[in-house]
Structures are given as structure tokens and as C-alpha cells.
Amino acid sequence: MMDLYHGSEKIVRVPAFGVGNVHNDYGLGFYCTQDVGLAKEWACSDENSGFANHYLLNDTGLTCLDLNGSDYNILNWLAVLLENRRFDLSTPIAARAKKYLLENFLPSYKGFDLIKGYRADDSYFAFSRAFLSNTITLEQLRRAMALGNLGEQVVLKSPQAFEAISFVEAIAADSLLYYGRKLNRERTARNEFRAILSEAPSGSEIYISTIVNEKWTNGDTRL
């Protein structure tokens, strides 16, 4: 069994399959976290409090794609994001990078019941855009993804996953407390990211242009 939490301004007793935003990180699905504190933060806006909806998921027999697992790399995660999220690719290198990553690093992810991976909130999204624009290196992107403990999510994708989840309770989240915590977490990540950018280059940096020009593939040992 797995404890999951869904942050929302509403109480969601029965998650519905096939509804929501198709442009979320991993496409259409029900987005949760295993961290109740993060769910409370995600539930709150600057004006409204919300709920961390608590569920139990019987994951026996369900297939799970863990994008942070040893079988995958940061470029696999980014390729999935590129296929689903709307990116502002205003530079030629960014457009070329998107095409290359989708052709060479996109995993077969659509047949899984569950997907686990980073949640591309504003900070993670900014880190990804910087990498695609050739502004930060591959190593800087890797390090940036761990900044501020911005969070990992678990997404229910299939009818079988939705049938295996049961509502436990709705835990109130006060925006006066948790919206401030969310802002502070993101502020910490951005400050730490600026510190990474200020470091002197080592001379062996790998940028997205290197990956594209040298035709790296998914099995490359440098990943």
C-alpha cells in the first residue's frame, strides 16, 4: 500500500479518470505526492487555503515508471516534459534541442499505470528552459533538480490505478502558513541556483549543444 496526497482547494473524494489538463508534466492524470507537507503547500494560493487529500493506493500489480530510478536519466525526464508541457522555445538551439531529445531520449511511458518523477513547478521549469537554451550545463541541471527539495510526484495514469485508490481523509492546509512555506522553498532553490551559476567553469562543461552536435544517445556512459 502507498500513502498519497493530492493538494487542492477542494476535497476530492473520488478522483476521476480522463479529466484534467493534458499539458501537465506527464500528460493527463491525477497528480499526487507522498509528502503531506508538499501537498499542503501545493494546495494553497496567496488568497485561498486548501486541503491535502489523503489516499491509500493498492499498488499491487500496477506498473510504475520511476523517472528518478537508475534505469533513467535527467534527459529522459526532460523529454517527457517536452512532449507534454508548453515551452517557450524562442531560440534556434532550444528548438533543435527539443527535437533531438524527443527523438533520442523519450522513453515509452504511456503504457504505465503510475509515473514517478520531479514536479516541474516554476523553478524546475526555469532550470529546464535554461538548459535547453544552452545557458546551463548538464551537470548544473542535475544539481539544480535537487535544490530546495521542490518535490517528487506520483501520477495515476490508467483506469486500473484509479480503481486501486481509496480516499482516507482531507487534511486542512492554511494558506497563511503553507503558501509562505511554498514561496520560501522556491526562493531557496532560486538562490542556490544563482550560486551554482556563479561558480567558475571547470573547462569540461557539457551543454545541450554538445549533446546534439556529438549525437549522444540514451545509452551513453557519460550520462
Strand segments, DSSP code E, in 9-49 are 30-32
Residue 79's CB is within 10 A of a number of other CB atoms, namely: 24
* Residue 150 predicted with pLDDT over 70: no
d(CA 53, CA 192): 31
Instruction: Identify the pLDDT of residue 154.
Output: 95
Reported as type and span, the H/E element at residue 213 is helix 208-213
Reported as type and span, the H/E element at residue 175 is helix 175-197
* Residue % of the chain over a pLDDT of 90: 51
d(CA 149, CA 37): 12
Give the pLDDT band of residue 149 (cuts 50, 70, 90). Answer: low
Q: How far from chain centre, in Å, is Cα 205? A: 24
Non-local CB neighbours of 139 within 8 Å, separated by 6+ positions? 205, 206
* Residue % of the chain over a pLDDT of 70: 96
* Residue 124 predicted with pLDDT over 80: no
d(CA 193, CA 188): 8
Instruction: Identify the pLDDT of residue 190.
Output: 83
Instruction: Identify the pLDDT of residue 148.
Output: 56
Which residue's C-alpha cell is 507537507?
A: 37
Across the range 146-158, mean pLDDT stands at: 81
Q: How far from chain centre, in Å, is Cα 112? A: 16
Does the global pTM surpass 0.85? Answer: yes
* Residue 146 predicted with pLDDT over 90: no
Inter-residue contact 196 to 143 (CB < 8 Å): yes
pLDDT in tens, 186-218: 888 888 888 877 877 677 789 999 999 999 998
Instruction: Identify the pLDDT of residue 223.
Output: 78
Non-local CB neighbours of 57 within 8 Å, separated by 6+ positions? 1, 2, 3, 4, 156, 161, 164, 165, 166
d(CA 77, CA 152): 12
Across the range 134-154, mean pLDDT stands at: 80
* Residue 111 predicted with pLDDT over 70: yes
Across the range 85-109, mean pLDDT stands at: 88
Across the range 9-22, mean pLDDT stands at: 91
Q: Give the side-chain half-sphere CA count within 13 A for 54.
A: 11
Q: For the stretch 29-68, what's the b/e string if a residue is b when 16 or more beta carbons lie within 10 angstroms of its beta carbon?
A: bbbbbbbbbbbbbbbbeeeebbbbbbbebebeebebbebe
> DSSP code of 26?
T
Instruction: Identify the pLDDT of residue 147.
Output: 66
pLDDT in tens, 16-73: 998 888 888 898 999 999 999 999 999 998 789 999 999 999 999 999 999 988 889 9
* Residue 125 predicted with pLDDT over 80: no
Mean pLDDT rounded to a whole number for the chain: 89
